[in-house]
Structure 1
Amino acid sequence: MATVFRASAPVAQAGPDLGPLLELPGTWVGNGFNLISRPDQHDNKPFFLELNATRETLSFTPIGSPIPNRGSGQDDIFFLGVHYLQQVSDAATNGALHLEPGMWLNIPATTDPAAPASVVRMATIPHGDALLAQGSSLTVEGPPLIDPVDSTPTFSTGPNAGQKLTGAYLDPFTTTPPPPGIDAGAIANPNVVLTEAISKQKIVETTVLIISTTTDVGGVTGGIQNIPFVVKNANAVAMSAIFWIEKVQSDDGSTFMQLQYTQQVTLDFLGINWPHIQVATLVKQ
């Protein structure tokens, strides 16, 4: 049988670009805040509320050539992306908190399926999780609009599903002191860390990436796959995130690039959905 080779289109002909991901390549460094409720059977308690001021390095590298996806119901598509490595540590102890390799992709609009252009994030986590999230992007003049995010757990099952927990069960959310340098209001709304970071800045342009594992694009959603231990003990069932890529103008008129994000992973255990929220403000080096 003869071997058949199929040549890829030249870059100039295929014409893909990074689009809203254009400013990501490089290394971004900064600080943030991490809030997670995790099981605490070791101490015979239903959960432990962990709060960390964080240091973070997030590095992006362009994927070296256009990626071809072959079509059977439409013409082939070609697109570009970046791969990344995220490293988060505790600001006080330097202890490792999070390690995540992954990719962002800039997907063009398609006819089969009928779907608009989208951005995709794929990631793996050492706890035994792999995710695919997708969504949309936009660019606006001026600073970002950062809405509050609610850290209150909700019931995941039973007649009260979707309702917020109340009462003494939530005492750790009101009695646990925040880490040094973190406002007490960040426990209820971690996004205050982001708004405080830019309160005195002049941001002239913002590119927004909005993704989640539950967003439907072309009739298909993403999702999270976990190892059996995670599924049974603290199941990661959904993730949503907003990234703001900001052009900041200094007093002398020069500009620099800044990246802010808010991310929420929902952990399901004890019949409760517990928000695991990470936020950070990073400056491109």
Structure 2
Amino acid sequence: MDLKPDFSFRPKLDLKSVAHFPFPQIPNPLGPLAALPGAWIGHGFNTIWRPNHTPGQDRFLELNLRDETFEANAVSGAIPNRGSLQQDINMFGVHYLQQIQDSNLHEGLHFEPGIWATVPATSDPIEPPTVVRMGSIPHGTVLLAQGTAKEIAGPPAIPAVNIDPFPIGNPGGHSPFPEQNLAQSTPFRTPAPGINGINQAMVNNPNSVLQAAIAGQTITHTTVLEVTTTATRVPGGGTASTAFLQGTQHGPNADAVQVVATFWIETVKGTGGHPDFLQLQYSQTILLNFNRLSWPRVTVGTLRKKTPVQVPIQWIDPKIPLELLQQAENRG
């Protein structure tokens, strides 16, 4: 999925004021996304409620252990955004491809091409620097999730999350369904061998898989990316689905109405003489609406970067002034 080697954004009209470092405290055009370029490989866990057509049973709970790869490449040049209420702005970004297979059944589950980008602070609307993820899902949904980024010294604080369905618009009314109890036999949940390696604690709290993955690790630094398709953090964002998924006056087939995700890019201290390494963890909840309920689909993953990659700043931003480039190199 590489772009042509000579591809670089070159706006036909020069931007009057280029934000060479959209996050001023980070001397890199990619800001908190600077560690993303490269190949990552790892594993994860997925839960999804699906519509079911058996009389008297409107749902099926699919559970998957996952093998995953994530490849990202920096985009050269400032990506222009034209403004009418304020001066034009620019973004910098990476394009990515995520590929996922079922670990037990060795079947393809998901692939997602997309873009992560940094957005500088804006005056109209008045917003701080943000990050945005634009993804395309082959089942018939596209998403634009925007949010904030922060740096912390040490490991992440990963909260618990559940998959309890709830009435549309009333998340406080959530309650578990019988299919969530692995001790209770049901034909309406993924059967063995598809759930080999999945236990009750994982179903109760999918984020426990992330917590277990970092138990015993020494994480010295974490970059936190928190994005959502709702306008709760910054204006804009959203999902769009095909007519089949969204439905009409009779209701949706299975409409993805909201995505909330947190990504943690972690620096992990090496052991036994091995060097430190980069690790990417994420937790994503998609709300699927059908049969008058919102059904949380929770996906989590832990991936390690295969090979260190450092993209030259002047390749990402060919028009960066020499003095800023020197500052970045000195600070780096």
* Separation in 2, partners of 1:182, 1:153: 20
What residue is the counterpart of 2:327 in the other structure?
none
Q: 2:60 aligns with which of 48, 51, 65?
A: 48
Query: What are the within-5 Å matches in structure 2 for residues 54-203 of structure 1?
Result: 54-156=66-168, 162-165=172-175, 170-175=177-182, 179-203=195-219
What residue is the counterpart of 2:20 in the other structure?
15
Structure 1 residue 136, shift from structure 2 partner:
0.1
Structure 1 residue 73, shift from structure 2 partner:
2.6
Aligned residues: 274
Say if 1:267 and 1:275, in contact at 8 Å, map to a contact too. yes
Q: Deviations over 1:101-152 (max 9, x none)?
A: 1111100001122111111011111111111110000010010000001111
What residue is the counterpart of 2:287 in the other structure?
266
Aligned-partner SS, 1:233: coil
Give the residue type in structure 2 aligned to 1:225. Answer: A
Question: Structure 2 regions of 5+ residues with no counterpart?
Answer: 1-10, 22-28, 183-188, 247-251, 307-332
Query: What are the within-5 Å matches in structure 2 for residues 235-254 of structure 1?
Result: 235-251=255-271, 252=273, 254=275
Structure 1 residue 230, shift from structure 2 partner:
0.7
What residue is the counterpart of 2:299 in the other structure?
278
Structure 1 residue 179, shift from structure 2 partner:
2.5
What residue is the counterpart of 1:223 in the other structure?
238
Give the residue type in structure 1 aligned to 2:178. Answer: D
Say if 2:15 and 2:89, in contact at 8 Å, map to a contact too. no
Q: Deviations over 1:228-263 (max 9, x none)?
A: 111121111100000000000112362100000000
Q: Deviations over 1:11-54 (max 9, x none)?
A: 9x652400000000011100000000101116873111000000
Give the residue type in structure 2 aligned to 1:221. Answer: G
**Cα pair distance change 1:164/1:217, threshold 3 Å:** closer
Q: Which runs of 4+ in 1 moved over 3 A?
A: 215-218
Say if 2:16 and 2:88, in contact at 8 Å, map to a contact too. no
Aligned-partner SS, 1:172: helix
Say if 1:133 and 1:215, in contact at 8 Å, map to a contact too. no
Give the residue type in structure 1 aligned to 2:204. Answer: A
Say if 2:85 and 2:124, in contact at 8 Å, map to a contact too. yes
**Cα pair distance change 1:217/1:227, threshold 3 Å:** same
Aligned-partner SS, 1:140: strand
Q: What is the Cα-based RMSD across aligned positions, in Å?
A: 2.2
- More strand, by proportion: 1
Say if 2:181 and 2:200, in contact at 8 Å, map to a contact too. no
Query: Structure 2 length normalisation: TM-score?
Result: 0.77
Between 1:13-22 and 1:230-239, the stretch displaced more is 13-22
Percent of aligned pairs with the same residue? 43
**Cα pair distance change 1:151/1:63, threshold 3 Å:** same
Between 1:182-191 and 1:100-109, the stretch displaced more is 182-191
Say if 1:155 and 1:165, in contact at 8 Å, map to a contact too. no
Between 1:110-119 and 1:246-255, the stretch displaced more is 246-255
Question: Structure 1 regions of 5+ residues with no counterpart?
Answer: none
* Separation in 2, partners of 1:31, 1:182: 13
